[in-house]
Chains A and B, each alone.
Chain A
Amino acid sequence: RKEVEQDPGPFNVPEGATVAFNCTYSNSASQSFFWYRQDCRKEPKLLMSVYSSGNEDGRFTAQLNRASQYISLLIRDSKLSDSATYLCVATNSNSGYALNFGKGTSLLVTP
């Protein structure tokens, strides 16, 4: 079983739509959580950290539920430029400061 599981999609949504991605993690000792964005054939880039209290950055909202070991990302008013793969990440303190990445969820925003 992979430590971070997420639906690979693809999610095809029209511009302006709201889309939600979910992921689950198996290591209850994980301390920190993130969403990374990866464009095709490019390096991953940090989108936002995820906190239990929930956090928002413009059109993006992330939420962590430690009891259910569940992480979510909500994108409101989708833009064409949001098309990318979104990687859910949990830290693994058992191995240095490794990041455990999910497989990624592919999002395509269409005109």
Chain B
Amino acid sequence: DAGVTQSPTHLIKTRGQQVTLRCSPISGHKSVSWYQQVLGQGPQFIFQYYEKEERGRGNFPDRFSARQFPNYSSELNVNALLLGDSALYLCASTWGRGDEKLFFGSGTQLSVL
């Protein structure tokens, strides 16, 4: 079975641009979460979606938004990119909302120049 897949794997943008990152969860998983990992830090929670509704939001500005589609895939959008948005963006899926075991995708490495 395929694991969590994310696209693209790498992305280079310039300040002020907008970016969309995509995630497909493991088949049967209904919950998707997004995390940002800056170099040298642990992953930081951005959003959780379950059954297409936002169930949790971390301490990120409104420039960050996300959505979940009927097939449970998800997109993360970041507007007005800043240099500080350069990071590895990780998507994780679980079967249920409170499922403890997160399965992470290999991430999208975003570089903002």
The 8 A CB mask of A28-62 against B (1 = contact, 0 = none) is 00001010000000111110010000000000000
Q: Tell whether A43 pairs with B101 under 8 Å between CB atoms, given A97-B48, A101-B42, A103-B42.
A: no
CA distance A95 to B55 in the complex (A): 8
Q: Are B98 and A44 in contact (CB under 8 A)?
A: no
The reply to whether the CB of B86 lies closer than 8 angstroms to some CB of chain A is no
Q: Tell whether A96 pairs with B48 under 8 Å between CB atoms, given A42-B106, A46-B102.
A: yes
Interface band, chain B? 20 to 34
CA distance A92 to B48 in the complex (A): 12
CA distance A55 to B97 in the complex (A): 25
The reply to whether the CB of A84 lies closer than 8 angstroms to some CB of chain B is no
CA distance A96 to B45 in the complex (A): 10
The reply to whether the CB of B73 lies closer than 8 angstroms to some CB of chain A is no
The reply to whether the CB of A87 lies closer than 8 angstroms to some CB of chain B is yes
CA distance A27 to B55 in the complex (A): 20
Q: Which 3 A-B pairs have the closest CB atoms?
A: A96-B56, A101-B42, A96-B48
